[in-house]
A and B are shown apart, each in its own frame.
Chain A
Amino acid sequence: MNKKHGAWSKNEKIFLGLLAPILVLFFCFNTLPLIKGFYYGLTNFRGYGSYDFVGLRNFAEIFQDSRVGHSYLFTFKYALVMTIVVNLLSLILALGLNSKIRGKNALRGIYFVPNILGGLVVGYIFSFIFTYILPTIGEVTGIGFLKTSLLGSTKWAWLAIVIVGAWQGIAMNTIIYISGLQTVPEEVYEACMLDGASGWKKFKSITLPLIMPFVTINLVLCMKNALMVFDQIMSLTKGGPSQSTESISYLIYNNGMSGGQFGFQSANAFVFFIVIVAISLFQMKFLGSKEEQL
């Protein structure tokens, strides 16, 4: 059975024949545009009209362009804060929802709701909260930075996007942590009771190592989603105020599609792709080694 080389049987040829059109489809709308994107990155194409080759000039300029630099800074800051905040809160929430409580299923059902709603509309709804409700709370409680809308401040607008992103992201990660906690057998806890470990110590030395695979999944998922942030920015800030909340995706969309920077943003997109691959590989290697088997 296990032949890596040698003549192909009729059966195998049929398999390949059926697979071929699917591979062609995938190539045409995934690999080909990636190659084309790199090609456009080598030109000064504005999205219309004629264009010339400019070699690697776009790629060199990406690293000097302050707007691109800022969008990377913003995106990474956002992704990092999101990953930490979302994972901490959802782990706590999951521990709560996994303990012996009343109305467990109803509570789980409610906490998952934000995840099914579209990021754009959720952004619009929160936009009202940030513009009208939080400033009032700021007035009443005297918390200074809440008194004006978060969305209007170059210093705090990113926080508003984190809040909306977290509101949705926590729902997803919590459900995954709960399913992780359910894989820890009851006997493990019983054995640990006999050893006298409880509370934080139990969590740190027993629960956490056992759910490490789920931590990995959540960190990777959360980071990946946060690096792609687009919908919330579209509905909350449109990259503003004064470009302080431009994510990489938003910059590519905004300047590439309508800002006459088709070539330049194609180069930017390609660099972004390399960055995503590097981060994903790093995460898988680094976190994969920390998992423990029961």
Chain B
Amino acid sequence: MSRTKKKEGTVRGKTTNRIINILLVLGCLTVLFPLYMTVIIAFKKPSEMTNDVAGALAFPQKWSFENFAEAMRVTDFWHSLGNSLLITGVTVVLCILIHSLAGYLIGRKMKQRKAFKVAYYYIVSGMFVPFAVLMMPLVKETAQLGIANRFGVIVLYVVFFMPMNVLLYSGYLNNIPMALEEAACVDGAGVWQTYWKIIFPNMKPMHATVAVLTAMSTWNDVMTPLVIMSGTDQNTLPLAQLNFQTQFGTNYNLAFASYLLALLPILIFYIICQKQIINGVVNGAVK
């Protein structure tokens, strides 16, 4: 009796799972359709964009790379890509170095000294301050300091991501036993050496999380470079899409080739490091 019941249960379980499976695969279309459309339109000639939707979404007669060459020229692609890579790369490296040090300094002493506890809450409460609130004073400030450029944008990112990253690093410090540091202390290592030789390497898993979170927010950010670098003729990848929007006109093929070029680096990065990216995002949110 009980045996047949169990069997029934599994059979029913299997069919519901199959339905879920089908629904989930169909649901993927909502994700894939915009991407499919982007690719298809990017490879077409404007003459192939007939007035109906079916014409726009059909496969191109000939896969042509002309749009990409033209989009690269119009948006100064390599230059924008270079800027995006430079800003993201330097920001990630600086964030890992500075924020892990800050997280260590604060995390180790905040239980013993009130001053460090105050410093902790001071920095972490910075999470409440959205960039939009600081935008206007920061534009004036960076202009006065003469850093209304790529360097200034990097400095702002280092400050802006500090609350989150210090929170992550000082939390992670609990996983590193004090005994390791005490051993180094006995060997005569100073604070700096202890941090650099013992703590920094041991924080490796958190470096990965911080790197992913920082890189993704930096790479896709529009607002900061938009307001800070507007005086220079430098663009990041997203900013180039915004600034050259008028030049695309109604040539959607050119525009979509440009969008695809802008999305491609992060898509490739995602395909290579999918696991690290998802882990990083989850760790950052949950901790």
Contact = CB atoms under 8 A, between A and B. Distances in A.
Contacts of A4: 112-114
B158 interface: yes
B38 interface: yes
A56 interface: no
A252 B222 contact: no
Interface in B82-107: 98, 101-102, 105-106
A263 B105 CA distance: 39
Contact of B102 (A19, A109, A110): A19
A51 B93 CA distance: 41
B282 A176 contact: yes
Contacts of B216: 116
Given A112-B278, A252-B132, A101 B20 contact: yes
B136 A252 contact: yes
Interface residues of A, number: 88
B179 interface: no
A30 B136 contact: no
B136 A40 contact: yes
Contact of A15 (B105, B238, B256, B270): B105
A11 interface: yes
Interface in A223-254: 227-228, 230-231, 234-235, 248-249, 252-253
A294 interface: no
B242 A272 contact: no
A23 B139 CA distance: 21
A121 B17 contact: no
Contacts of A121: 238, 241, 259, 262-263
Interface string A100-144: 111100011111111111111110111011001100100000000
- The interface residues of chain A, by DSSP majority, are classed as helix
Contacts of B13: 100
Contact of A175 (B27, B255, B282): B282
A118 B262 contact: yes
Contacts of B281: 115, 172, 175
A192 interface: no
Contacts of B171: none
B278 A175 contact: yes
A273 B285 contact: no
A3 B115 CA distance: 12
Interface in B197-216: 216
Contact of B136 (A96, A107, A108, A256): A256
Contacts of A129: 34, 37
A19 B141 contact: no
Interface stretch (A31-39, A58-66, A77-85, A150-158): A31-39
A276 B220 CA distance: 23
A42 interface: no
A18 interface: yes
A179 B280 CA distance: 12
B55 to A, nearest CB: 11
A25 B122 CA distance: 13
Interface of B: 13, 17, 20-21, 23-25, 27-28, 30-32, 34-35, 37-38, 41, 52-53, 56-57, 98, 101-102, 105-106, 108-109, 111-116, 119, 122-123, 126, 128-141, 155-156, 158-160, 162, 190-192, 216, 219-220, 222-223, 226-227, 237-238, 241-242, 245, 252, 255-256, 259, 262-263, 266-267, 269-270, 274, 277-278, 281-282, 285-286
Interface of A: 1-4, 11-12, 14-16, 18-19, 22-23, 25-26, 28-30, 32-34, 36-37, 40, 47, 93, 96-97, 99-103, 107-122, 124-126, 128-129, 132-133, 136, 167, 171-172, 175-176, 179, 214, 217, 221, 227-228, 230-231, 234-235, 248-249, 252-253, 256-257, 262, 265-266, 269-270, 272-273, 276-277, 280
6 tightest CB-CB pairs across the interface, nearest first? Answer: A118-B220, A33-B137, A249-B132, A36-B137, A29-B159, A136-B53
20 contacts: A4-B112, A4-B114, A19-B106, A28-B141, A28-B159, A30-B129, A32-B137, A32-B141, A99-B20, A110-B32, A113-B267, A113-B270, A124-B259, A129-B34, A132-B53, A175-B281, A217-B286, A252-B133, A262-B136, A270-B133
Given A116-B216, A132-B56, 17 more contacts: A19-B102, A25-B158, A34-B134, A96-B23, A101-B21, A112-B274, A113-B35, A116-B269, A120-B220, A128-B252, A129-B37, A167-B34, A175-B281, A228-B132, A230-B223, A234-B242, A269-B133
